[in-house]
Structures are given as C-alpha cells and as structure tokens.
Structure 1
Amino acid sequence: MFEGFEDTNITLRSGLTLRVRIGGEGKPVLLLHGYPQTSACWHKVAPSLVDRGFRVIAPDLRGYGRSDKPVSDAKHLTYSKRTMAEDQVSLMQELGYSRFLLAGHDRGARVAFRTALDYPEAVEMLALLDIAPTDEMYARTDRDFATGYYHWFFLIQPSPLPERLIGADPDFYLRSKLAAWGRSGTDVYSQEAVSEYLQAFRDPVSIHATCEDYRASATIDLEHDAADADKKINMPLLALWGAKGLVGKLYDVEKLWRKRAHHVVGKGLPAGHFLPEEVPDETAEALIHFFKNQP
C-alpha cells in the first residue's frame, strides 16, 4: 500500500505525535479517515490524487492506528472534533502549509467540518464523505437509524462496558463492521488494509480512545455544534454519499449540508458506507474534479 509514500511520525506543538503518510507534489490535500479504520482506507484513492498533481497527506487521527492515544477527560474534550481539528491544522503547519484542500470520510469528515468552522482561513475547499450533520442524525433518530447505526448508542455507554465487550473479540467486531456497513462484498477491502485495522483494534487503549471519540460526539461536540448552529461555511463543499448505504437512504444529504454551507454540490456513488474502498475510482474522480474545477 502507498507505494512511493513516506510513512512517518510527526510531533505537533501540543506534544501529540501523529502517524502520517505523505506522497506526491503539488497542491496539498489532507485526507482524514473514519471508524474503525486508519489512514490505510485511502490507499486506493491516494495514488490517483498523486497522479493528478496533488500532494497527499493522510494521518491516523488521534486515538486511531499508530497515532498517540492521550488519556481522556470527564467532558471528552480530548477527543472532541474541535481538539482533533486543531491537530490537523497544526500538522499542516508543521509541514509548511497554512492553507490546504480537505477531505474526510465518516469520523474524519466530522473532524473536517469542524476544521472548516474553526479555521476557515486554512481550508480552501472541503469534501465530506458519507455523513449528514451530527445533530441532525441524532435528532432524527428512528428505528432504521438506531438499527443500522447502533454503535452510535453502544460506544457512548460509560467505560468500560463497550471496551470490555469489543475487547473480548476485536477481530470479530471489526470484521462485522466492515461487512455490515459496506454494500460491495468483503473482497473490496485489501488484506493489507484489514490487517492494519485489526492490529490497531487489538490494542485496548485504541478501543477506549475510539469509544471516547463517539462519547465526545454525543456530548461536547453537540454543545460546540449548537453554539455554531447559525454559522455557515463559505468555502466550496462537496458532499458524497453511498447511494446504497444508510446515509443515502435516510437523509437528503445535499439539502442538509446546504443549511451549513453557502456553496454545496453533492453526488451519490454506487456503494455503501466505505466509499474510498468500495468505489475508489469514482471517489478519486469526484474529488479530483471538485478540487480542480471549483473557483
């Protein structure tokens, strides 16, 4: 995976160290992964971006993969999207970039949106993959959402309940997530990527940190979102979603993001949740077209 990319560790001014994959030359594109994955989820998309003249930076989010997993706090601020957004801006500054293109999938998309809200001067263009706004998804909870996204309610339970249950068989848990949320068969996931996901999820510290990510989303992140409810971002926003997945079926994704951004384009892709791995060519082409053709 990631042939020709540098795989390195970068320590931020906060003292946090992130594992980062870097490749290519040109305008910088920051790619943020989701749950329960690592930056490896971009391994089929990143080479296409490099081939089309972009410099790709793909970190493991704090708490995930080989990045640091700091001890959390009672309010879950340590894993708030605001804190994780600060990580990303600090990372890009360490690499010499004050302004960059940004794409995120799943949890990474929530970090990406918060980055655009808190650091509008840093984000030139924004792409969000297979999410609707967090508060909208919680507010519209029904049987279909609670059944398909049960983990939103399971992972936020007080520690150590979800940690102990996941830790009893992390391989089964992770493989079940990949199988359930995708709609293209398990053979779309490369063995190298799955091995990396499994290795990360076998670490109890990582399991706890990723639960903290979700606990933050159900608490402090909602507070931050409520404070910014009337704030719309100005940079161009691309919303992509899996037409066969739950987000595409339950929400008018483009319409919901038009409440949060002034300039939105949207498109459903023929996949479930894991767009970068289920339909990597279509995902790459959508990102390239957006990043190269928007003003």
Structure 2
Amino acid sequence: MFAGFVKQQRHVNGVDISYRIGGSGPGLLLLHGHPQTHVIWHKVAEQLAEHFTVVAADLRGYGDSGKPPASDDSSHYCKREMAGDGVELMQALGFERFNLLAHDRGARVAHRLALDHPQAVLRLILLDIAPTLAMYRQTNEAFARAYWHWFFLIRPAPLPESLIEADPELYLRSVMGSRSAGLKPFTDEALGEYLRCLKLPGTARSICEDYRASAAIDLDHDRADLAAGHHLQVPLLVLWGQDGTVGRCFEPLHEWQQVALDVRGKALPCGHYVAEEAPEQLLGEVLAFLR
C-alpha cells in the first residue's frame, strides 16, 4: 500500500500528527473516518499522487497520531482543534492553501476547517455525511439503529471505552461489518492496520471523546455559525453512497445547500465506505472536480 509514499510525523497545534506523503504538485489533504486511519485511502492515494502532493493524515486520537487527554468538555477533541491540526500540518509542509478530501469523522473536521480557515482551502470534497447539526436534529429510529455507535460512544466514561478495550476486534467488526457491504470492501492488510491502531493505548478513550465533542461543543460551534449566517465559502462537492444510511435517512445535497454557497453532489454506487467500496468512481469525481 502507498507505493512511493513516506510515513512521517509532525508536532503541530500541540499534538503529534502521523501522516503519509507522496506525489508532487498542489497540496491535497486526506482525512479519514471512524474507526479507521489514513489507510482508508490506500486504493486511491497512488493515483491522486500523480496529480497532487497527497498528505494522508491520522486524525488526533486515531492511528499513530497523538492522543491528548480527556477534558470535562471534550474540547481537546472538538472539530475546531482537529481542524487546526490539519491547517498547521499543511502549513508546516509548505502549503498555505490546499485541496481537502475527507470521509466520515474526517469530513466533519474538514467542514469545520473550511469554516474557520476559508483562506486555506481551495476546494473541498466531503464523503457520506450531512452536517452534524442537521443529523442530530433529524435523528429518527432508522438512523439511530444504523448509527447506534453515535449514541453508545457519547455515554459517560469509562463505560464505552472499557467495552471497546475489552474486545477491540469485536467492536471494529461490529461497526464496519454492519454496513451495507459488510466486510467485503476491506483488504486483510487494511483491516489489520485498523485493528492494530484501535488496540493502541488511549485510542478507545480518544474515539469516545471525538464523539462526545460532536454531541456537545461541536454543536455549540455549529449553532453559533448558523445564528451568525456563516456559510461555507469554498467550492464544495458532496458524495454519498446510494446504499448507505446517510442517503436513506437524509437529503445530503439539500442539507449542504443550507450551509454552503457553492455546492454540488451526487450518490455513488456503494455504501458508507466510499474510498474502499468504489475507488474508481470516487477518483473520477474527485479528479474532475479538483481539475
């Protein structure tokens, strides 16, 4: 995986961020989702590196990146802080402005990054999410059953982290295997990496803090933007899986049109894990949009 890439680490925004970098040309930051790592991009990274300097980073708390301690308000894992990690990482690598492609949790970080640092983002692509505030406001039974982990992980410590640490593989397979495609899209090597990182000390706590922040301080930030009339200014492409929960329970394009000025999007023939289920289709859409 990641032929031609090198794995490195930088201390930015008070945390060590692990990443792989490869290719040449304009900067392209890739951010992954839960409960995974930067490895989600292994089927598309080499092709993207033919056109861009690709930086595939592990979010704070995930993969081999640093895992700050918990705080009473989960602010160490708010999307504003995580967005700061991405901006400072790209600046440290010489990119004051860059493109951004992100999935799931990483897409929530990317949403915040483009709101807080619009001058840094050239173009933005978000995979299989609707805005966090809209998803919480419109939660129904179908969504709660499919995204049960959203409500499990925000329970007070130490219950959810203790249960994850008791059997990390069961948790990984329960979350990822319960989606529309099961575990078929994931190579043994990728699954092995996801499990290795989930077993690292502090990962379970960090994952819970990420979700606790999304159900608390992140919503405060989102409400403040909504009240102030702040919208995404950068060109935005949203893609979602036609077989996934987001597309079934929400209207992704409509929801993004409420918070972005320049947005387009469509469903792709896959479920939630777009980069691993439909890499060729994703590449076609990404390259057409970024070019």
2:216 counterpart residue number? 219
Counterpart contact for 1:163–1:204, Cα < 8 Å: no
Report the Cα distance in structure 1 between the residues aligned to 2:230 and 2:11, rounded to whole angstroms: 32
Contact 2:58 2:65 in 1 (8 A): yes
Contact 2:26 2:53 in 1 (8 A): yes
**Is the Cα–Cα contact under 8 Å of residues 132 and 247 in structure 1 kept in the other structure?**
yes
Question: Which region of structure 1 is more displaced relative to structure 2, 197-206 or 218-227?
Answer: 197-206
Q: Tell me which amino acid in the other structure corresponds to 1:50.
A: A
State the shift of 1:15 in Å.
Answer: 3.4
Q: Residue in 2 aligned with 1:238?
A: 237
CA distance in 2: counterparts of 1:79 and 1:38, whole angstroms: 16
Identity %: 50
Match of 2:152 among 151, 154, 158: 154
How far does residue 255 in structure 1 lie from its aligned partner after superposition? Answer: 0.8
Deviations 1:38-83 (A, max 9, x none): 00000101112112x1110011000000000011211111000000
- How many angstroms does 1:187 deviate by? 2.7
Secondary structure at the residue paired with 2:230?
coil
Gaps of 5+ in 2: none
- 2:206 corresponding residue in structure 1: 209
Q: Equivalent residue for 1:50? A: 49
Amino acid corresponding to residue 225 of structure 2 in structure 1: D
Q: Which residue of 1 aligns with 2:136?
A: 138
Is 2:97–2:119's contact at 8 Å kept on the other side of the alignment? yes
Q: SS state of the match for residue 126, structure 2?
A: strand
Letter in 1 for 2:126: L
Take 1:184 and 1:288, find their aligned partners in 2: how far apart are those partners? 25
Q: Which piece of structure 1 moves more, 193-202 or 212-221?
A: 193-202
Distance 1:124 1:193 in 2: 30
Q: Deviations over 1:70-113 (max 9, x none)?
A: 11211111000000000000001100110000011000000000
State the TM-score, normalizing by the size of structure 1.
0.96
Amino acid at match of 1:132: A
Maintained 8 Å contact 2:70/2:205: no
**Is the 2:129–2:246 Cα contact (8 Å) retained in structure 1?**
yes
Kindly state the Cα deviation for residue 204 of structure 1 after the two structures are TM-superposed: 4.2
1:48-87 equivalence runs, <5 A: 48-51=47-50, 53-87=51-85
Runs of 4+ in 1 over 3 A off after TM superposition: none
Take 1:211 and 1:94, find their aligned partners in 2: how far apart are those partners?
Answer: 29
Matching of residue 186 in structure 1 with residue 183 in structure 2: yes
1:171 counterpart residue number? 169
Aligned CA-pair RMSD: 0.9
Equivalent pairs counted in the alignment come to 289
Distance 1:148 1:16 in 2: 32
Give the distance between the partners of 2:246 and 2:140, measured in 1 at CA: 13
Partner of 1:101: 99
Contact 2:243-2:271 within 8 A present in 1 as well? yes
Q: Could you say which residue in structure 1 is the equivalent of 2:262?
A: 263
Say which SS state the counterpart of residue 248 (structure 2) adopts.
Answer: helix
SS at match of 2:63: coil
Stretch moving more, 108-117 or 228-237: 228-237
User: Contact conserved, 1:23 with 1:56, CA < 8 A, in 2?
Assistant: yes
What residue number does 1:90 align with?
88
